[in-house]
Amino acid sequence: MTTESFSHVPARQLDRTYFARDAVAVARELVGAVLLVDGVGGVIVETEAYARHDAASHSFAGATSRNEAMFGPPGHAYVYRSYGIHWCLNFVCEPGSAVLVRALEPWRGVDVMRLRRGAREDSLLCAGPGRLCQALGITMAQNGAPLDRTPFSLSGSDGTRPVAAGKRIGITRAVDLPWRFGEPGSRFLSRPLRSPGEERQVD
């Protein structure tokens, strides 16, 4: 099966009101959702939640010019540059909270992704926040943009994919919170969710 021929059952489009709630619940439910940016994208297979008073969150110390979008209305994009190198895409939920989109399974516009990322394994096209943003053409230009308007298109999960929870990646605070969600066994994850200490099946 090629990524272009991947079959996804159409689901309802997600509007801004969908995100006006707890980021942890949204992060869990977004596994299996379809994200397209200008028609390029695929199925979300990995997310992380960050809450307003979460010590690992950009919002923990309050609003700044960098994280302003996190304190704006729900259902908008929060984009930032990590380590001055790559962009990261987040979906704003309740004020000061957001969901980081960590990985997706390529589906539409795979040839475009390959050009943007170079000749690489398809499993690595969107495996990690930086790779994902490069493959989808995400930059600071999308920061603060509504998620239910072009260039974004989001449709909900069809509910057929399993979801596991584990510890978040690349942080030094609040490290024990199980707020990383992903499809266990997916080859498109940024890092496997396999070990008993890491993986916890969720409904």
Pick the closest to residue 129 from 175, 76, 168 (CA basis).
168
Determine the pLDDT at residue 196. 43
Looking at residue 72, what DSSP letter applies? S
In CATH terms, 11-202 corresponds, of 3.10.300.10, 3.40.1440.10, 3.30.160.270, 3.40.220.10, to 3.10.300.10
Cβ pair 89, 79 in contact under 8 A: yes
H or E segment and range at residue 166? strand 163-166
Q: Alpha helices of the chain — where are they, by DSSP H? A: 23-29, 110-117, 129-136
Cα four-point dihedral sign 100, 109, 42, 185: negative
pLDDT digit string (tens) for the chain, length 203 residues: 344 445 455 578 999 999 999 999 999 999 999 999 999 999 999 999 998 889 888 877 788 888 889 999 999 999 999 877 899 999 999 999 999 999 999 999 999 999 999 967 999 999 999 999 999 999 999 999 999 999 999 999 988 999 999 999 998 899 989 999 999 999 999 999 854 444 555 55
Residue 83, pLDDT score = 78
User: 155 and 14 in contact (C-beta within 8 Å)?
Assistant: yes
